[in-house]
Amino acid sequence: MPIRPENKHRYPPNWKDIRAAVLARAEYRCECVGECGLHRGRRCKERHGDRGAWTNGMIVLTTAHLDHNPENNAMTNLKSLCQRCHLRYDREHHAETGRNTRDRVAGQGKLWE
């Protein structure tokens, strides 16, 4: 997933090297073993550059921050995930940030604070 321009400053200058190291560790295969809610403890079979088993498109592995914090680039916090696993892994985080954005735009803020 591309880095949004407004978040680019949160990534280190050597991000491309870090990403390359994560991909190499994963042997260019998705590292998800069920964190996304699929696979039931088996490793996802998707490989970078191959035609996807679940889509007609090509698989592009992404680098996921497991704690959703781009400043935490410890190798234990990073996983190489296919688009499907990454989107499923992040779905609750995306829903929360979407709610916060909609509330902020509507002038609501967080009502529980």
Calpha distance 108→64 (Å, rounded): 30
Report field, pTM of the whole predicted structure over 0.95: no
Q: What is the pLDDT of residue 111?
A: 54
Q: What is the pLDDT of residue 13?
A: 93
What are the E-state strand segments in 1-113?
Answer: 62-65, 78-81
- Closest by CA position to 57, among listed 70, 46, 72: 46
pLDDT tens for the chain, 113 residues long, are: 677 888 888 999 999 999 999 999 999 999 999 989 898 889 999 999 999 988 889 999 999 999 999 999 999 999 999 999 998 988 876 667 666 666 667 666 555 55
Residue-range domain boundaries for the chain: 5-105
- In eight-state DSSP terms, residue 43 is P
